[in-house]
Amino acid sequence: MVKKFGDFTAVKELDLTIHDGEFLVLLGPSGCGKTTTLRCISGLEIPTSGSIILDGVDVTDRRASQRDIAFVFQLYALYPHLTAYKNIAFPLKAQHVPKEEMDKEVDRVVKMLRIEHILDRKPKHLSGGDMQRVALGRALVRHPKVFLLDEPIGTLDAAFREEMRTELKALHVDINATSVYVTHDQEEAMSMGDRIAVMNAGVLQQIGEPHEVYANPVNLFVARFIGSPGMNLLACKPETGENGQLGLRMRGNNELLELPGTLQQLLKEKVERDHSLVLGVRPEDTTVHTAEQEHSLAAEVYVTEKMGSYHIVDLSYGEEIVRARTSAYVDMEIGQNVRMSFDMGRVRFFDSESGQSIMN
């Protein structure tokens, strides 16, 4: 599928298969094309070229109302003049479902979402979380083939968002409907997705299960985007040291980092001499030492972020910032000189020009 708006290509040649009953998350920064993709699936937009096939049927030409999908919008889009009950019943009313059946369906959904007590209220008297549930109820009441959710919890308070994440996923496990969920928040994607499809600038970067995308990012963008904080990326070049061993000349402060045998082997196979690389290492695999340490690099403390159960120490290394995850009982001063080391068994390498991972 390709989607253009005038000269601007929002989605470039996207090929995506979503399995029956799967909760797929479309993840990416603002403007990456994820919402456009969702809207094309729904029929609210028509692709410039390509097709959408739902349950074996080509629905590309069909209007949104004829595709048997349910859409949950970012700002709920509840009808302000109708009560919560009427909002949920609305799609059924539009299909002229008899009242008894309609009540039964609404009841079922209302119990599932635990909103029995707010049915008489109008949207302006509902909290954000309740409005969210009503919006979900309106989608659920129809037994659609696919649920499409466009950043539905983005506008809620942070505390609420976490609650809703678990609820939404639990709901999905209950009803097992095929769902496509769009978000820019990688935490949401990691916690809810059966698979995550990462997009950037209209192009699909990687698709896979959360732990796969986390542990084996295919390029620099995914490495940085997934994980909170994202993977540290350090510019370097393989260089043979005085002892004949292959090491990495780090651009940050020009130190030579020693490599274990396995990595030396890998680099010898995959990389040409003198080719610029990017070393990727996650904050939890980065350790900060206040004393001298073997196989470490010199850095300076830039700022400490207290996360409660752990701390993230931002270290300035040359022009780059490297983040390390430390215990909550450690306190460092800004400007303090320290040494940082990496768990070399878990680092990843990327080609500096193409941005692609060289690990395979």
Q: Which residues bind another protein (CB under 8 A)?
A: 29-31, 46, 60-61, 128, 157-159, 162, 165-166, 169-170, 173, 184-187, 190-192, 210-211, 214, 224-230, 282-284, 302-303, 305-309, 312, 314, 321, 325, 328, 334
Nearest-approach distance from CB 308 to another protein, in angstroms = 5
Helix (H) or strand (E) holding 182: strand 178-183
Judge contact between 358 and 277, C-beta under 8 A.
yes
Burial of 4 (0-12, 13-18, 19+ CB in 10 A): middle
Nearest-approach distance from CB 287 to another protein, in angstroms = 14
Nearest-approach distance from CB 149 to another protein, in angstroms = 16
Nearest-approach distance from CB 115 to another protein, in angstroms = 19
Burial of 331 (0-12, 13-18, 19+ CB in 10 A): exposed
Nearest-approach distance from CB 245 to another protein, in angstroms = 29
Burial of 2 (0-12, 13-18, 19+ CB in 10 A): middle
If the CB atoms of residues 105 and 186 are measured against another protein, the closer one turns out to be: 186
Burial of 12 (0-12, 13-18, 19+ CB in 10 A): middle
Please state the φ and ψ torsions of residue 236, each to the nearest 5 degrees.
-160, 175
If the CB atoms of residues 109 and 192 are measured against another protein, the closer one turns out to be: 192
Q: Which residues lie closer than 8 Å to 18 by C-beta, 6 or more apart?
A: 24, 146, 178, 180
If the CB atoms of residues 170 and 291 are measured against another protein, the closer one turns out to be: 170
Nearest-approach distance from CB 70 to another protein, in angstroms = 22
Nearest-approach distance from CB 241 to another protein, in angstroms = 32
If the CB atoms of residues 128 and 318 are measured against another protein, the closer one turns out to be: 128
Q: Is 95 helix (H, G, I), strand (E, B) or coil?
A: coil
If the CB atoms of residues 102 and 192 are measured against another protein, the closer one turns out to be: 192
Residue 344: both structure tokens together: 């070399």
If the CB atoms of residues 184 and 339 are measured against another protein, the closer one turns out to be: 184
If the CB atoms of residues 162 and 255 are measured against another protein, the closer one turns out to be: 162
If the CB atoms of residues 69 and 168 are measured against another protein, the closer one turns out to be: 168
Helix (H) or strand (E) holding 4: strand 3-5
Nearest-approach distance from CB 225 to another protein, in angstroms = 6
Instruction: Tell me how far apart the alpha carbons of residues 198 and 196 are, in angstroms, rounded to a whole number.
Output: 6
Instruction: Tell me how far apart the alpha carbons of residues 268 and 148 are, in angstroms, rounded to a whole number.
Output: 46
Residue 359: both structure tokens together: 């690990």
